[in-house]
Amino acid sequence: MADFGIGILGTGKYLPERILTNHDLEKMVDTSDEWIVRRTGMKVRHILDDDVPSYKMGAEAARLAIEDAGLTPLDIDLIIVSTEVPDYLSPSMACLIQREIKAENAAAFDINAACTGFVYAMTIAQQFIQTGYYKHVLIVANEGLSRIVDWENRNTCVLFGDAAGAVVLGRVDKKYGIRESYLAAFGNLGHNLTIPCCYVPEEEKQKRREGMERTIWQDGSEVFTFAVRAMAESVKTVVEKANSTINDVDMIVPHQANLRIINGAAKRLEVDEDKISVVLHETGNISSASIPVALDTESKNGRLKEGDTLVLVGFGGGLTCGSILLTWGK
């Protein structure tokens, strides 16, 4: 049994200054503020300026997380970036952020597990620290989703925003940190949510209007059904693996996809909605950035207390899902 835990040393986030409201969207597509709020819970989303590379968001979130951890960029041994929308296929977003923040001692790579990416990255980072291979791992979830949205498709354009969230993972007192994790993938369902890149088959072209072949598309009802089930089952699974109960959990921090998904899963779990972190009204769906952005928000506003039991839960493209149960504290 290790004489240390592996936990979050610091958090940070960045949301672009430019805001797109529901009322702005009313002028762009056939929708309304009332419909968007009722169907999604979203009110605003942040949009990156066209002339700014997305990795700049991740670099700023990273700086804040490193500062919050009481470290410097030179203390970082590894950078893992979760993203669905990299600025380049190569170099990786992790290498671009490494250069930007001058983390000259760090190795760096990207992963893509869509909206579950942050949970996957945390679990990967945990292994490096557990084995003693690395001491401090920077995890950045960097998502510029506005760049792969068809702004004439009202089914998707009302949902997504841009943001980055970051944490530094390292050794903590053994009574704190990650206690259990759970990862899953369902590739047979992946066709329900797609973003083509280097290869665009005919069936993907037929789902989109001409010129929009590389934008995000989803079968809303199928994804909704999967998400409610996946969120609830992922929470139950990680709680059981930790030999705990749902009543022991102080806060659930879910991927912020849609308020109806979150409320539907809460009903299945039989937990009060006030036990669940919800920030999507201020961010929209920001894919894998949603959990670290919510964590930073809850930490900075004082809702997270030392010793609290948290469950982080993601679900999304792939299709994928996963969860982490941890005790908050250093």
How high is the pLDDT of residue 7?
A: 98
For residues 176-204, average pLDDT: 95
pTM, two decimal places: 0.96
Q: Is 255 a catalytic residue?
A: yes
Give the DSSP letter of residue 247: G
Model confidence pLDDT, tens digit, residues 258-303 = 999 999 999 999 999 899 999 999 999 999 999 999 999 999 999 9
**Given 46, 258, 285, 321, which residue is catalytic?**
285
Q: How far is CA 224 from CA 25, 40, 229, 263, in A?
A: 22, 11, 9, 12
Residue 91: asked if its preceding bond is cis (omega within 30°), the reply is yes
How high is the pLDDT of residue 213?
A: 87
**Given 46, 136, 255, 321, which residue is catalytic?**
255
> Taking the chain, what is the end-to-end CA distance rounded to the nearest angstrom?
18
How high is the pLDDT of residue 40?
A: 95
Q: Is 115 a catalytic residue?
A: yes
pLDDT at 77 over 70: yes
Report all structural domains of the chain as residue ranges with CATH numbers, in order of start.
5-174 (3.40.47.10), 178-327 (3.40.47.10)
How high is the pLDDT of residue 236?
A: 98
**CA-only gyration radius of the chain, Å:** 19
Model confidence pLDDT, tens digit, residues 115-162 = 999 999 999 999 999 999 999 999 999 999 999 999 999 889 999 999
Q: Is 136 a catalytic residue?
A: no
Please, what is the Cα angle at 63 between 61 and 69, to 5 degrees?
105
pLDDT band at 1 (very low <50, low <70, confident <90, very high): low
How high is the pLDDT of residue 93?
A: 98
**Given 115, 136, 142, 192, which residue is catalytic?**
115
C-beta separation of 164 from 14 below 8 A:
yes
Model confidence pLDDT, tens digit, residues 201-239 = 999 999 898 888 898 989 989 999 999 999 999 999 999
